[in-house]
Amino acid sequence: MKVRSPEDLEKLRREILARKKPDRPVIAVCVSTGCSALGARRVVEALREELKKHGLEDKVEIKETGCMGFCELGPRLIIYPQEIPYFKVKPEDASEIVEKTILKGEPVEKLFYTDPATGEKIRKLEEIPFYKYQVRLLLENNAKIDPKNIEDYIALGGYKALAKALTQMTPEQVLEEVKKANLRGRGGGGFPAGVKWETTKNAPGEPKYVIVNCDEGDPGAFMDRTLMEGNPHSVLEGLIIGAYAIGAKEGFIYVREEYPTAVENIATAIRQAEEYGFLGENIMGSGFSFRVKIHRGAGAFVSGESSALMSAIEGKVGEPRPKYIHTAVRGIWNKPSCLNNVETWANVPLIILKGADWFKSIGTAGSSGTKIFSLVGKVNNTGLVEVPMGITLRDLIYKIGGGIRGGKRFKAVQTGGPSGGFIPEKYLDLPVDFDELTKVGSMMGSGGMIVMDEDTCIVDVTRYYIDFLSSESCGKCVPCREGLKQALNILNRICNGQGKAEDLETLEDLCEVLRAASLCALGTTAANPIATSLKYFRDEYEAHIFEQRCPAKVCKALTAYYINPEKCQACMICLRNCPVKAISGEKDIVHVIDQEKCIRCGVCFQVCPFNSVEKYSPPTPPPARYGIKVKRVKKGEKGGA
């Protein structure tokens, strides 16, 4: 059916709701990447089998949804209407779920989340610390929607914002509302979306284009993928509203090739939106017409940069352009083109529906709304989290993230993807918003957040990111191509114990030239990891250069392995696992590492059940003698703990 007016939409919504029956049980199973990898598909099959067995296949709906968050505890599942959240569900659990929860309304205790602190089972999602401090405006519907079914989205009030914009607001009023809400770009620099829309709207030239940036080139980030896979209509609705405000008749959705499900789900969403009349000619009788095409990109990191992305849509090499004229004025085929990130667009329907004042009531004065982060690294709880802007890093890491894994000490958090900066412990109480992160030398970026503990060597991770950025440089301009290459040479040398006194100044000069002279933001922001590591962790560089010491005992050239004769139980495990046979030993005789042969792979350190292998940096362990008799430790004293 075609929806031709807001009244049509409301009628349709009621019909859908009536068909759905509110008390009808729904088992929502997350089948997105994370949970699928853990076997969610098999859980779905087992549940279907089980329902069939009980003759319930028509009475209970199984909904295959996008990501619900907390992926490491997947497969995830929520049973409605009671909203019972289950974790780590296995196919074997299907019968119990159907027999107990579906038929009798009883919970399956073992599938609840266990609080690691108290050991208690938690029955409500919003009481689990990981969720408790989140504000999931954009992500919450993921658990309620089958992304391939537009009716699920409509049932939750989807396309109401579009109806409102088209029938009750002029394009100018829509623009004003977004400007007033101070929605800032979620994909990069935090540029105010409304201001960019206005630029494109007022720029000379027709046609004008609107574009969704779903390149998401940051390794390890999946906020945009999650929205595109789990709730594609929210992005699409935002885009259509933006097109109306700007006066664009055509839009592009740029999705990286590596996201086949996102491509599939957004393609389905576009088809359904056309069928229902939310796309195409004369949308909801407003006279406004709009079409969308999908562009599948090769997914290089630099392709996400605005001018590179537009070149790619034109069919050219996806390389940044040297122009100083913004793509909002001259973008695709030199026409005004407004590019926003997936998450930016997804915020738009909420703003139109609930108003700019509501939006501004969330977050900080300078940064309104929520932000989705991909919280990973050495925290206990990892995954996508959506938080109000202004939450402190400490709350994010300790309350939501559950603190540092293994009780280790926090060292740094890197925000903003590979070209973000490292933020040290003294700034843990920093409120997370665009401006505060920039002030300390990092950035919001698209929302990467990597937590590092005391076992991380800052010089080594800096080297890792510069290696990534250097290999992702398009190679056009000298500061980025040559500067990053030489910075990498220097960092490699420092990690190899061949650092020189002048290296730190040279790295600083490279940061300066990267920032001042790079052609695009890949180069200018690539200075962040170097500059912040030099600023906040200079002592680590100095230890490497002047003392031949890696404080975290990570850099191979500066770390030696040594078997503590007091702890070794002569179990022969390290000896058998050493890939170069550098360990000698026999029954009852303390094992000894031949430092000449040792390649410092650390296998012995990992496999020793008695924690008797120790790391030394500088790499000068005490002299080892062969033939020492083992000192037996009593049971229960194992591991030197």
Ligand X SMILES: Cc1cc2nc3c(=O)[nH]c(=O)nc-3n(C[C@H](O)[C@H](O)[C@H](O)COP(=O)(O)O)c2cc1C
Positive or negative, the CA dihedral 586, 592, 596, 597 is: positive
Q: How far is the CB of 559 from another protein (least distance, A)?
A: 25
Task: Check if the beta carbon of residue 583 is closer than 8 Å to that of residue 604.
Answer: yes
Residue 633 interacting partner from another protein, ligand X, ligand SF4, none (CB closer than 5 to 8 Å by kind) = none
Residue of 81, 105, 116, 189 interacting with ligand X (CB under 6 A): 189
Between 416 and 565, CB nearer to ligand X: 416
Between 297 and 424, CB nearer to ligand X: 297
* Residue keyed to tokens 């009780």: 407
Q: Is 498 in the site for another protein (CB under 8 A)?
A: no
Q: Is 476 in the site for ligand SF4 (CB under 6 A)?
A: yes
Q: Is 474 in the site for another protein (CB under 8 A)?
A: yes
Residue 216 interacting partner from ligand SF4, another protein, ligand X, none (CB closer than 5 to 8 Å by kind) = ligand X
User: Would you tell me how many other CB atoms lie within 10 Å of the CB of residue 539?
Assistant: 10
What is the rounded distance in angstroms from the CA atom of residue 70 to the CA atom of residue 375?
10
What is the rounded distance in angstroms from the CA atom of residue 583 to the CA atom of residue 604?
9
Q: Is 199 in the site for another protein (CB under 8 A)?
A: no
Contacts of 514 (CB under 8 A, 6+ apart): 479, 480, 483, 484, 523, 524, 526, 527
Residue of 229, 305, 503, 540 interacting with ligand X (CB under 6 A): 305
**Stretch of residues binding ligand SF4 (CB under 6 A), selected from 5-13, 108-116, 477-485, 543-551:** 477-485
Residue 301 interacting partner from ligand SF4, ligand X, another protein, none (CB closer than 5 to 8 Å by kind) = ligand X
User: Would you tell me how many other CB atoms lie within 10 Å of the CB of residue 394?
Assistant: 16
Residue of 33, 36, 344, 347 interacting with ligand X (CB under 6 A): 344
Per-residue contact flags (x/-) with ligand X for residues 205 to 244, judged by CB under 6 A: --------x-xxx---------------------------
Residue 304 interacting partner from ligand X, another protein, ligand SF4, none (CB closer than 5 to 8 Å by kind) = ligand X
Q: Is 191 in the site for ligand X (CB under 6 A)?
A: yes
Buried b (16+ CB within 10 A) or exposed e, 158-193: bbbbbbbbbeebebeebbbbbbbbbbbbbbbebbeb
Q: Is 475 in the site for another protein (CB under 8 A)?
A: yes
What is the rounded distance in angstroms from the CA atom of residue 139 to the CA atom of residue 68?
8
* Residue keyed to tokens 């266990």: 114
Binding to another protein in span 441-470, by CB under 8 A: 470
Binding to another protein in span 314-353, by CB under 8 A: 322-325
The pair of structure tokens assigned to 282 is 């004369």
Q: How far is the CB of 252 from another protein (least distance, A)?
A: 23
Q: How far is the CB of 554 from ligand X (least distance, A)?
A: 27
Task: Check if the beta carbon of residue 137 is closer than 8 Å to that of residue 183.
Answer: no
Long-range contacts of 586-593 (CB under 8 A, 24+ apart): 588/629, 588/630, 589/626, 589/627, 589/628, 589/629, 589/630, 590/563, 590/565, 590/628, 590/629, 590/630, 591/563, 592/563, 592/624, 592/625, 592/626, 593/561, 593/562, 593/563, 593/624
Residue of 164, 296, 354, 485 interacting with another protein (CB under 8 A): 485
Between 5 and 486, CB nearer to another protein: 486
**Stretch of residues binding ligand SF4 (CB under 6 A), selected from 285-293, 376-384, 517-525, 527-535:** 517-525
User: Would you tell me how many other CB atoms lie within 10 Å of the CB of residue 561?
Assistant: 26
Q: Report the C-alpha dihedral over residues 272, 277, 280, 283, rounded to 10 degrees.
A: -150
Q: Site residues (CB under 8 A) for another protein?
A: 300, 322-325, 470-479, 481-486, 489, 506, 509-510, 512-513, 516-519
Q: Site residues (CB under 6 A) for ligand X?
A: 185-189, 191, 193, 213, 215-217, 301-302, 304-306, 339-341, 344, 446, 520-522
